[in-house]
Structure 1
């Protein structure tokens, strides 16, 4: 269901029309509404002709204004409530992305793969099976970084794990920093 958080913003929609209508002075009088910043709007020429000669310019500006007002009213799509599991485990995964993970010494089929690609495959499958658990991801090398806080969003955890690069957190292995980071979370 589509709802507007600030529906009262739609009351601003007729403002340009009101301005255009009231800014013109009656014969022998000054302008009813004087706004120096907008004084040239009605007289502006676009591509060699005025807005009065090309009504599509006024239509385009009107559509732009209505889009702005509609966006300012904050439309939101509210769907059915998603039930989050009330029980489950909180799991923080610490993954080494130091320089040593580049070593291609893990047999996969008939070839050798680097350690990080094997970890990504195994941990990726593990993450997809953990329904109902909150997962987090810490990447460490010379330093440890919280990549994803505890979340039910398994897809994001898997995506950020797959985007991890060797050496991104430094070339050395500081597993103690990763453990300290896990305790902090």
Structure 2
């Protein structure tokens, strides 16, 4: 059963029957907002390229990043499934995914922050049905979903993070904070307060 996460909400990644999740997938979906009216159709934006990234941190220090130009973390525990330059699922399926093998994440990495940015520079006013979701990759069960709501005149969002809680078990927190930037590098100053 999936949990709809509100901004700031946290969930444990312990299985309901006990035991820890081993492999999770963070999925991102979106589609271009439909413009209404004759002139809106003439001035419709080009296809929207949202990019999902995973930033691996040891404390407050970034130690690796997975994104469309670096598809696998240096240790192999995090893998991006590939760049989608147009979106279109936005109704349940994932347009981009990042798979995390929690059992292989190095012990010094204590949090992985997921971001989304509009590489083509359109704002979220031009995007609809955008979401991120966490899926148990071994069963296919959706564990949590966070809707990227509200449109807005920004080009990025710090979506969520998975982090080691007390006792070492993994947890997820929905962040849902708007930001500005076309790449994950642009977002680093906005990510820091959420570590």
TM-score by length of 2: 0.23
Q: Which has the higher contact order (CA 8 A, sep 6+)?
A: 2
Looking at secondary structure, tell me which structure has more helix per residue: 1
Q: Which has the larger radius of gyration?
A: 1
TM-score by length of 1: 0.24
